[in-house]
Structure 1
Amino acid sequence: MERVRNRVVVDADACPVKPEIARTVRACGATALLVSSHAHVLVPEDRVEVVTVDASDQAADLYIANALRRSDILVTGDYGLAALGLSRGAAVLTPRGKEIRETDIDGLLEQRHFSAKLRRGGTRTKGPPAFTDEDRNRFQQKLTKLLQGVQENDGH
């Protein structure tokens, strides 16, 4: 049986889909918890709680790790935090609408490590492609399905 998920926890500092999250949780009767550093000013809304942490490097990640529950959906592009979320039983969704699963995380962490090693060695690596309306729509559709408990067997 699919686990009921009714709270979205967001690594909000660089999250480009905060408006979509707010709209979707309201439409689905869920709630959201946006966690960000003092450098970002976020305003609470109906069904959207905002937590501000200090600006230290991992403060938001640590707060999220301690706040996550098995029934949550974690929205993050940080693969280290995604791994933590998966270990806590949360569903993990990137802002581009890709659900990260247990079968994905080792390869993603390995890729992140390899890219960081190249950069430390002086190699320039490509950043992510520009964020598009298609990414935004994919994210909102996937978040809606996760909140509604729609099971997908498409491999992603």
Structure 2
Amino acid sequence: MKIYVDADACPVKDIIISEGTKAHIPVILVTSFSHFSTTEQPSGVETIYVDSGADAADYRIMKLAEKGNLIITQDYGLASLGLAKGCTVLHHKGFIYTNENIDQLLQTRYLSAMARKGGKRTKGPKPFTSEDREKFRELFKEVISEL
């Protein structure tokens, strides 16, 4: 098993790295060159840089991920593709994407995009909280122990 992280805007990379390396699971951070860092990662953590183009990280993750891998993303499209490939997919706010909830999430995203295209204002995501962080930590630890 490997853990793939859509890392550009992921606020829980530190948790993923800490818990993933403790469990001896390889962690692969996929991020754009615009987020290049010279920070050295611990053993067992790899950073893959991709172009800054739309969905470049998503495409790379889908090229690399295999059935049984774990993907962390806030992107519903990537989550849908990961589920179809047989991966477990988590959101950084501490919930699991499932075949039962992904259609509703994609539909909501589509309707919001259409409303914005029509000139309406829509609400953005709620701010990331310390409660979200702890919810993710507990879910992540539970999922990696089960996998």
Number of residues paired by the alignment?
145
Unaligned runs of 5+ in 2: none
The Cα of 1:51 is off from its aligned counterpart by 0.1
Q: Which residue of 1 aligns with 2:100?
A: 103
2:100 matched to 1:124?
no
Which residue of 79, 82, 87 corresponds with 2:84?
87
The Cα of 1:29 is off from its aligned counterpart by 1.8
The Cα of 1:141 is off from its aligned counterpart by 0.9
Normalised to the residue count of structure 2, the TM-score between the two structures is 0.94
Q: Which residue of 2 aligns with 1:25?
A: 20
Q: Which residue of 1 aligns with 2:53?
A: 56
CA deviation string 1:96-131 (max 9, x = no partner): 111010111111111100000011111111111111
Amino acid at match of 1:37: S
2:134 matched to 1:114?
no
Q: Which residue of 1 aligns with 2:34?
A: 39
Pairwise CA RMSD: 1.2
- Percent of residue pairs bearing the same amino acid type: 39
Amino acid at match of 2:73: T
Unaligned runs of 5+ in 1: 1-5, 151-156
Q: Secondary structure at the match of 2:35?
A: coil
Normalised to the residue count of structure 1, the TM-score between the two structures is 0.89
Q: Secondary structure at the match of 1:46?
A: coil
Amino acid at match of 1:9: Y
User: How far apart are the structure 2 equivalents of 1:78 and 1:65?
Assistant: 13
Which residue of 109, 134, 147 corresponds with 2:144?
147
CA deviation string 1:6-54 (max 9, x = no partner): 3210000110101111111022221211001001124432221100001
User: How far apart are the structure 2 equivalents of 1:125 and 1:19?
Assistant: 31
| 8 Å contact from structure 2 (residues 21, 27) kept in 1 | no
User: How far apart are the structure 2 equivalents of 1:77 and 1:9?
Assistant: 12
User: How far apart are the structure 2 equivalents of 1:31 and 1:142?
Assistant: 18
Q: Which runs of 4+ in 1 moved over 3 A?
A: none
Q: Secondary structure at the match of 1:102?
A: coil
